[in-house]
């Protein structure tokens, strides 16, 4: 998308082979230390790339944003002249902590007068027992988590609950279970104003939470919620929310991801989307006419085996036939043809550390509130 808009695109990645490395849209690839294991080396390497390449805009693409945010001042100092400074598309780390942390986010949304399900902080097994004893249905998840990897939905088995060990250093939240349709949003904002926005229902996933198919929908209630929250925060950057849409169309926000998410795939074909990263626009870029998109590999590996009925198979087949694979491009085929290579490090980490492939996909970049 940036290359089509006339920009020179560089990528920095800690993996030896990543999905976009062979892409014709990328002018240069740099290997950097993993931001989770070596955050200081990661920031220094980025600063050197910024100096060498005279970078104008630095866009984090996933949870490495938290390592980038910690080094905003160092990176800005490595940027261009005063009349054209480097733009780091990341808020300060403490701002991002208040959104990434599920307990702090719920508190913040409530202060802004926006609806979230009842949320309780769990810092001990006693807190967990007290919440479950009080009755009701509760969703349990660590305050720092992604892709619903550790999320427990009701009803809870004794074996699953035995693995939940909240502590002050690793707290969880209990969130009142809401029935309804799950809707996600992705937006780009500048100083509290939306520059791009899209909403899409969660219909096919890898595991419990990571969507692998994307279909843009018009959702005024979700857009109003996002607009009010972003304005109240004066937020700049990429930001995404998970909502539950209840009967009547009202929404409650479950959690926030203050970073890029897969909703960007639905906006990538819009002519003004690249501009939205540089400046506010008169009207937000939307994707209501975008063709549905998918991660074809995810649809085949995860969603097809999960379709265990004829109706489910028909629904999967319609979505697969009508969606474009976001990885494959006839003019730039190598990322799709060689994508298996990018999975090898994740497979190795999955085996070595006894974690799922989805959890392994963020092993080198995730941030769980560490100081």
Burial of 266 (0-12, 13-18, 19+ CB in 10 A): buried
| 189-248 confidence digits (pLDDT tens) | 999 999 999 999 999 998 777 899 999 999 999 999 999 999 999 999 999 999 999 988
pLDDT value at 2 more than 90: yes
pLDDT in tens, 280-292: 899 999 998 889 9
pLDDT tens figures, 251-307:
999 999 999 999 999 999 998 999 999 998 999 999 988 899 999 999 999 899 988
Q: Which fold has domain 181-325?
A: D-amino Acid Aminotransferase; Chain A, domain 1 (3.30.470)
The residue among 183, 179, 244 whose CA lies nearest residue 215 is: 183
Q: Tell me: the pLDDT tens digits for 111-151?
A: 999 999 999 999 999 999 999 998 999 999 999 998 877 89
For residue 81, pLDDT over 70 is answered with no
The reported pLDDT for the residue numbered 267 is: 96
Which residues, other chains included, contact 245 with Cβ-Cβ below 8 Å and sequence gap of 6+?
180, 181, 182, 183, 219, 221, 222, 251
pLDDT per position as a tens digit, 313-356: 999 999 999 999 999 999 999 999 999 999 899 999 999 999 98
Residue with tokens 């990885």: 327
User: pLDDT category, 24, cuts 50, 70, 90?
Assistant: very high
The residue ranges of every structural domain in the chain are 1-90+338-371, 118-176, 181-325
């Amino acid at each position: 998308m940036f290359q089509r808009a006339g920009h020179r695109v560089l990528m920095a990645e800690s993996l030896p082979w990543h999905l976009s490395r062979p892409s014709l849209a990328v002018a240069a690839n740099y290997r950097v230390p993993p931001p989770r294991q070596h955050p200081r080396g990661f920031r220094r390497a980025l600063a050197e790339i910024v100096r060498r390449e005279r970078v104008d805009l630095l866009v984090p693409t996933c949870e490495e944003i938290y390592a980038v945010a910690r080094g905003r001042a160092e990176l800005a100092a490595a940027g261009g002249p005063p009349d054209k400074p480097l733009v780091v598309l990341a808020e300060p780390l403490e701002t991002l902590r208040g959104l990434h942390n599920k307990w702090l986010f719920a508190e913040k949304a409530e202060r802004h007068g926006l609806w979230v399900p009842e949320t309780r902080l769990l810092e001990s097994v006693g807190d967990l027992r007290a919440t479950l004893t009080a009755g009701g249905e509760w969703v349990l998840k660590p305050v720092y988590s992604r892709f619903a990897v550790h999320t427990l939905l009701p009803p809870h088995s004794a074996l699953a609950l035995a693995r939940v060990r909240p502590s002050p250093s690793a707290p969880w939240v209990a969130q009142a279970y809401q029935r309804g349709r799950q809707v996600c949003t992705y937006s780009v904002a500048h100083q509290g104003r939306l520059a791009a926005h899209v909403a899409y229902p969660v219909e096919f996933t890898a595991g419990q939470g990571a969507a692998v198919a994307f279909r843009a929908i018009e959702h005024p209630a979700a857009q109003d919620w996002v607009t009010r929250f972003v304005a109240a925060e004066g937020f700049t950057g990429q930001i995404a929310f998970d909502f539950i849409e209840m009967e009547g169309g009202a929404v409650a926000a479950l959690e926030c991801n203050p970073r890029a998410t897969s909703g960007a795939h639905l906006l990538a074909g819009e002519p003004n989307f690249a501009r939205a990263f540089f400046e506010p626009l008169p009207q937000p870029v939307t994707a209501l006419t975008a063709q549905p998109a998918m991660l074809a590999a995810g649809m085949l590996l995860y969603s097809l085996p999960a379709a265990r009925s004829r109706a489910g198979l028909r629904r999967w087949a319609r979505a697969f036939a009508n969606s474009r694979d976001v990885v494959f491009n006839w003019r730039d085929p190598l990322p799709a043809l060689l994508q298996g290579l990018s999975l090898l490090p994740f497979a190795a980490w999955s085996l070595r550390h006894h974690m799922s492939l989805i959890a392994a996909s963020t092993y080198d970049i995730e941030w769980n509130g560490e100081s």
